[in-house]
Structure 1
Amino acid sequence: MNILAFDTTATRLSVGFMKNGNLEGFATAEGLRHAEILISAIEAALAKAGSSLGETDLFACSRGPGSFMGLRIGLATAKGLSLATAKPWVSVSYLDAAAAAYKGEDLAVPLIDARKNRVYASMYRKGLRIGEYLDIPVSGLIEALAQGDRVSFLGPDAELVRDYCAERAGFTILQEDPQAAMAAMCILAESTLALEGSGSPESGPMYLREPDIG
């Protein structure tokens, strides 16, 4: 299966094209300019893979939690490409993808900046989520982690806990491999399609709070 996936969860935009289980095209850019550059990033990833939209079997985007506007842009793009090509689309959580790409034994905690000293996070053991998706103060997340537990912080904004890692034994920040995370996102997308079918026109982002207005 050929899968085109794009993550618009955080400030970094990533696009990956997987062909028969191999990530053959990848493009990324920094900065909250997803509306301006998503299509060009998709074109770049397809070009690197030597493929095209017409050869894509499945489109995948980020479900959330994450940037309010970024998630809406990703969902609208996935729905539009699905409609234009008559191919299915799905959405998955980038937190799940980041955790699935991690191969260690520690408790994995991917982080996305939620602003105002808060993070979107969840906890995983061997790729399986334990508990709910969280919108939580950074200090509250640290307090929620058991003393003595070995924890690997992942994701695009793991640096937000750098000071805490310096103070607490067993806490580690792992540099994220965006390509590995995109490959995991593609694999999750394929399994989501098998379990849930294609997304519907009414499907929306997963928000953990109301958007800030004003």
Structure 2
Amino acid sequence: MSFQTDRPILAIDTSTSSLSLALRADGQTLLHHSEAGTRQSALILPHIRALFAEAGVGAADLGAIVYAQGPGAFTGLRIGTGVAQGLAAPFATPLVGIPCLDAAAYLRPGRSGVLAATDARMDEVFYAWFDTAAHRRLTPYRVGAAADIALPDGAAFSDGIGNAFALADKPPFDGCADMPTAADYLTLALSGRYPAAPAAQAELLYVRDKVALTAKEQAEQKAPR
């Protein structure tokens, strides 16, 4: 399924505690990026309406909606995808899902061995290795202990990127804790390397079946070792 790049395009990233939006219209990109915490669901539609008003467009004018596909914060991903589907369905607007680790990795373009790693909570990180010069992902998307991350066979490390590098237990590679914004998701969607789909077929990318610790597990983590 293709989409019209000459029409306005909205990008939504709610994969972290931030609310990040980008609207490309008439050759310019309007941005909103703020720390929303648990208020993403209350703030997302008012801020989208504000961007629409600033650009002089509406949901019916959109050529596509880009959304953060995961892995990331479970509740945030559901909020972003639900809003994207709600805006798209009445007008048969295509949706483009961008994996969150891809968006992080391509903050380091033209590199052969990029480790994208983000905070997965529960003492784990989401991660994958990329060759951004050749536009290839070198490993599956994974979740696990940062200390267990290893360089793929035949690859040479070049960069680490993502908020996992700000953790106390960070990956055993050098890296920067920068994270993508909705504008970066929009740029990847415009590359044409990620497929568009009808709203009803929008999917999230999960790499962990368990999304929360039990009360007993939380207590065990806090107990002195």
* TM-score greater than 0.5 by the shorter chain: yes
TM-score, normalization: structure 1?
Answer: 0.78
Q: In terms of Rg, which structure is larger?
A: 2
Question: Match for 1:103 among 96, 109, 113?
Answer: 109
**Other-structure match for 1:153:** 160
**Equivalent residues in 2 for 1:107-186, closer than 5 Å:** 107-126=113-132, 127-141=135-149, 144-145=150-151, 149-160=156-167, 171-173=174-176, 175-176=178-179, 178=180, 181-186=181-186
Matched residue SS, 1:54: helix
Larger % of strand: which? Answer: 1
**Other-structure match for 1:198:** 197
Equivalenced residue count is 203
Residue-by-residue CA offset, 1:58-98 (whole Å, 9 max, x unaligned): 01111111111111111111111001333222222121122
**Other-structure match for 2:86:** 80
Residue-by-residue CA offset, 1:187-213 (whole Å, 9 max, x unaligned): 433456x86442352543221122337
1:28 to 2:33 alignment: yes
Matched residue SS, 1:131: coil
Query: Distance between the aligned counterparts of 1:49 and 1:117, measured in 2?
Result: 42
Write the letter of the residue equivalent to 1:10: T
Q: List structure 1 segments (4+ residues) > 4 angstroms apart after TM superposition.
A: 47-50, 161-165
Please tell me whether the aligned partners of residues 146 and 170 of structure 2 are also in contact (alpha carbons under 8 angstroms): no
- Give how far 1:13 is off: 2.0
Query: Distance between the aligned counterparts of 1:47 and 1:136, measured in 2?
Result: 43
Write the letter of the residue equivalent to 1:89: L
Matched residue SS, 2:88: helix
Identity %: 26
Please tell me whether the aligned partners of residues 138 and 161 of structure 1 are also in contact (alpha carbons under 8 angstroms): no
Residues 118 and 213 of structure 1, relative CA distance in 2, 3 Å threshold: closer
Write the letter of the residue equivalent to 1:204: E
Task: List alignment gaps of at least 5 residues for structure 1.
Answer: none
Matched residue SS, 1:60: strand
Larger % of helix: which? Answer: 1
TM-score, normalization: structure 2?
Answer: 0.75
Q: CA RMSD in A?
A: 3.0
Task: List alignment gaps of at least 5 residues for structure 2.
Answer: 215-225
**Other-structure match for 2:9:** 3
1:52 to 2:52 alignment: no
